[in-house]
């Protein structure tokens, strides 16, 4: 399903990475969250292509889209 994303126990402890690299999906998401553009990522990590960035986003979406998140009021915790 995800040709560009791999999980190898010998690379970054099995975290999802871009195939053929040690660049994790987590790192790409962190860079994007810190307002890096696709162009900035590709300039700083020349082996990363736009399709790799899009694959990381698609992979992350696939993990989250069927999740149910419940917000528990703080009073319920105390």
What's the total number of domains in the chain? 1
pTM across the whole model: 0.82
Average pLDDT over residues 54-78: 85
C-alpha angle 49/30/53, rounded to 5°? Answer: 20
In contact, 21 and 48? CB cutoff 8 Å: yes
The whole-number average pLDDT for the span 11-38 is 97
Q: If you average pLDDT over residues 33-48, what whole number do you get?
A: 98
Specify the CATH number for the domain of residue 41: 1.10.10.10
Q: Taking residues 38-43, what's their average pLDDT?
A: 98
pLDDT surpassing 70 at residue 1: no
Does residue 19 belong to any structural domain of this protein?
A: yes
- Residue 10 belongs to some domain of the structure: yes
Q: Is residue 77 part of a domain?
A: no
More confident residue, 66 or 45: 45
Residue 58 domain-assigned (yes or no): yes
Mean pLDDT value across residues 41-61: 97
């Amino acid at each position: 399903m995800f040709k560009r994303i791999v999980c190898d126990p010998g690379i970054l402890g099995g975290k999802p990475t871009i195939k053929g690299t040690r660049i994790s999906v987590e790192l790409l998401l962190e860079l994007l969250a810190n307002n890096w553009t696709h162009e900035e990522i590709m300039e700083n990590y020349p082996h990363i292509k736009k399709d790799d960035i899009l694959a990381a986003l698609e992979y992350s979406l696939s993990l989250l889209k069927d999740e149910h998140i419940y917000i528990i009021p703080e009073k319920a915790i105390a």
